[in-house]
Chain A
């Protein structure tokens, strides 16, 4: 079955460490996205990529980095520069075009300890 997989489900990070969240899709979607969800804040866009080897900053990109070396993969690195990284992170993918909805992964809960 086609789908989008995020791993790990739960991640704990010490302050000052970088961590990488994985996102893989086998839907042959062109575009991939990273969102962050905080209570009362809805879904805020971190980064997105419409094509391999290209990506754009979203609304809250500071302290995060991404790469898109393969169509299927869009890992997100939360760097030590992100001041408040504890959140629920969601990856999504879609075909190109504004009338295609997104398929979301099941999310990664990151906690800074």
Chain B
């Protein structure tokens, strides 16, 4: 029973275009969401996060949008660069949960083609 779903295992985008990675969740108690980026044989690195009190958070080329009613969030990368090619994981948490671990999706592999 996956609480965080990334339904697209892979995505290919031309360099310079927009990459949109999607994530859906089922637990309405989740109130904090994070995106991580992972290169092969390395640990994931934090990219961007958003609290449920917001519907958008922006950091340079990266923007995360949250639609609470649809239980959906998306990561936009504009413009996409070859160095963005990696696996992206969506994660969710409940802030006042008593420290239960983050719940991760299965990841989406992004390939940016030059």
Interface residues in chain A, defined as those with a beta carbon under 8 Å from any beta carbon in chain B:
6, 31, 33, 35, 40-43, 45, 48, 50, 58, 88, 90, 92, 96-99, 101-107, 109
- Chain B residues positioned under 8 Å from A33 (CB to CB): 101
Binds A, one of B13-21, B56-64, B74-82, B88-96: B88-96
Residue of A with least CB distance to B31: A98
The size class of the interface chain B forms with chain A is: 20 to 34
Q: Which residues of B contact A43 (CB under 8 A)?
A: 44, 89, 104, 107
Interface of A, secondary structure class, is strand
Chain B residues, Cβ within 8 Å of A50: 99
B93 neighbours in A (Cβ, 8 Å): 98-99
Select which of A35, A45, A92, A107 is within 8 A of B42 by beta carbon: A107
B68 at the interface (CB under 8 A from A): no
B:1-33 near A, CB below 8 Å: 6, 9, 31-32
Q: Identify A107's interface contact among B9, B43, B46, CB under 8 A.
A: B43
